[in-house]
Structures are given as structure tokens and as C-alpha cells.
A = this chain, B = another copy of it.
């Protein structure tokens, strides 16, 4: 298994400056847009059923996040992901709190059928999506990421997707090869939307032409490294959130390479 090459990942992304279409939740829409701008992508949040099918064809990638799902939004997600499939636009699914209610689980399962390039969730979400009975605490996982590794491989094989399970250590698998990313900082769990930001960053790398595996590794490593650097500057969540946005803008290829801790799992 060859070490994925993240050299020049950031400069490639910034040169591509991909238009990333997001259908996302009300809590993180602003943070997601700012994270995408900071890293060098061009975000757009477009969610009306009447236009998502047209809009996604203009985009380089699509991010679908069910955090504050409503029925009209779910309908728009189905239209947009189908259009993305037709147009060859890669997309990523964030099955927020998938196991928390039957409605949410059914929604997440209907979406994973539609061939996302990447699925990113915490352990509780990935376990729920794989059909295991799990407890969860709202949007927060009650399981460590390693506990969902078998479930992640199962989903990856069944749907031909790369699956990322995030937690203290992040895992990325295509069902065969699996990588572990040992970057990040616990303060990332004290600010809302960092998981959603990880998903959006992966979307940006997908939009810049990276493979699903490369995009997932690059997106998660970027956020993990930026989280570490931000935690060195800021010890409380308000300042930390500011430092994360600053860090996404300031991070360069050399710093990413020297801080990345990606190993086979």
C-alpha cells in the first residue's frame, strides 16, 4: 500500500479554486462557506428543489449534509445528487446524527444509495448507516472511531465509496486500504461544525480533481493540522474558531507535509 501523496495538495486546490455546491444545515452554513473561502475554494449554498439540479452541473463538487434536514431539503438532495451523478460531479455525504431518529436514518440510507464519492461521519453515524443498533448523543458520537472501522469498510465495499470515520484518530477506507490520521485536537469538539467543515474541505479537494481517497485524506489532514496549530494559539473556543479560519487561509504545503501523521491502519 503506497503512502498517499499530499505534496502540493493545497497549491493544487488553490489553483483550481473549485466551485463547491453545498446543501447543508442552518447551524454551519456560515462556517462552511468561510472555511471553503479560507482554504481557497468558492462556496455556494443553493437548496431550492427548483434549481439544485441546474446549479450542481455548474459546480466542481457537491456537499450534502443532513444536520437540520427538512422534507423539502431532502427532496432537493435527491434531485441534486442524481444530477451530480449524471453530470459526473463528485459528491460527499455527511450523515449527521444518522442513528438518532428513524426519519434521519432512512434519509441517510436513501442518500448513500446514490453513489457518493465519500461518506464522512463520526463512529455513531457510520455504525448506524451500516445497520448496527447504536446509541448516540444527538450529533455527538458515543463510540470511538476505531469501533466503526469494520462498519466503514462494509459501507465502502457495498457502495463503492470512500468512507471516513472521524474522532480522536480519523480513519479513511475504500474497503481495501485503510489509513489512520493522527492529527487534530480535542478543542475541535468544543466548536460547532468542525465535522461539517471536514466534510466541506473534502468536498473542495474532490472539486479540485483529487481522487476520493486523496480528497478524504487531504481534507481531514488539513483540518487536523490546522486544529493543532490553532490550539497552540487559542485555549478557548471563541478564539479557537477564529484561529481555525485564519489557519485554513495561512496553511501551506510545507507545513501540511511536516505536520501530517498519516499511516496505514
How many whole Å from A212's CB to the nearest CB in chain B? Answer: 22
The answer to whether A97 and B48 touch across the interface, beta carbons within 8 angstroms, is no
Interface contact B238-A241, CB-CB below 8 Å? yes
Which residues, 108 to 144 on A, are CB-close (under 8 Å) to B?
137-140
Which residue of B27, B48, B58 contacts A70 across the interface (Cβ within 8 Å)?
B48
Q: A31-B30, A48-B103, A100-B55 are in contact. Are A38 and B68 (CB under 8 A)?
A: no
A54 and B103 within 8 A (CB): yes
Copy total for this chain: 3
Complex contacts, A102 vs chain B, CB 8 Å = 51, 54
Number of interface residues of A (CB under 8 A): 61
Contact between chains at B137 and A190 (CB < 8 Å): no
Across the A-B interface, the 10 shortest Cβ-Cβ residue pairs: A238-B245, A44-B138, A236-B246, A33-B192, A238-B242, A51-B103, A51-B101, A238-B246, A54-B101, A50-B103
List residues of chain A with CB under 8 Å of any chain B CB.
19, 21, 25-31, 33-34, 37-38, 42-51, 54-55, 58-59, 67-72, 97, 100-104, 137-140, 189-193, 236-239, 241-247, 249-250
